[in-house]
Amino acid sequence: MKLAEFFEICRLEEFVNNLPGTFYVLSSNKNEQIKYEVFVTQTTLAKTDRLEGEDNPGEITKVEKSAGASAGAYLAATGKTGYLTSGPYLHLDPGRYEVSFAVKSAKKSSDEVRFDATAFYGRDTLAGKDVTLGELSSQDFQKVTLGFELDEPADSVEFRLEVPANSTVGLDYLELVKQS
């Protein structure tokens, strides 16, 4: 599965420095321009279209075990502000997509969390939605869905969830569905 492509080796280095696990890079020379393509042999998303939150932590997260959660665990906010999840830097073909975040919040307040889908390291915003902690307040995980359309192939696609300070947001999993 292809994750990304680059024409500058410094961008490639920056990308793979943050990439966990095993990957491989194919380089090719066309018209004296070197192209680097980054592949992984398998990801959770490729097999099931479901990406467990706990396998895709952001900058301010801890993993909580829970019998009721998909795969027995979820990502929980630590109380700091920042991204609960980011990545997984997918290559996506043109088409219409929906990405769902299975989330919950123990706390009710008017503070907002930000869901977005971006491409090219966050350069292009494909979709975004702000939701209050009150709206997410629930015992069970509930889905927040973003739809977006790609006219051209996109690289380094991320599905991100940014939480405010002192939140108690949990993320069980993400699901990506290609609509057409």
Contacts to Ca ion by CB under 5 A: 52, 69-71, 74, 172-173
The per-residue DSSP string of 70-110 comes to GGGEEEEE-SSSEEEE--EEEEE-SEEEEEEEEEEESS--S
Work out how close the CB of 68 gets to Ca ion at its nearest, in angstroms, rounded to a whole number: 10
Shortest separation between residue 140's beta carbon and Ca ion, angstroms: 13
Which amino acid is residue 139, in one-letter code? Q
The size of the chain, in residues, is: 180
Chain CA centroid to CA 123, Å: 15
Residues 6+ positions from 110 with CB-CB distance below 8 Å: 132, 133, 134
Comparing CB distances to Ca ion, the nearer of 61 and 156 is 61
Residue 70 or 109: which CB sits closer to Ca ion?
70
Q: In the complex, what is the shortest distance from the CB of residue 95 to Ca ion, in angstroms, rounded to a whole number?
A: 26
CB of 124 to Ca ion, least distance (A): 28
> In terms of CB distance, is 102 or 126 closer to Ca ion?
102
CA distance 35 to 28: 5
Residue 125, classed as helix, strand or coil, is: strand
Of the two residues 109 and 168, which places its CB atom closer to Ca ion in the complex?
168
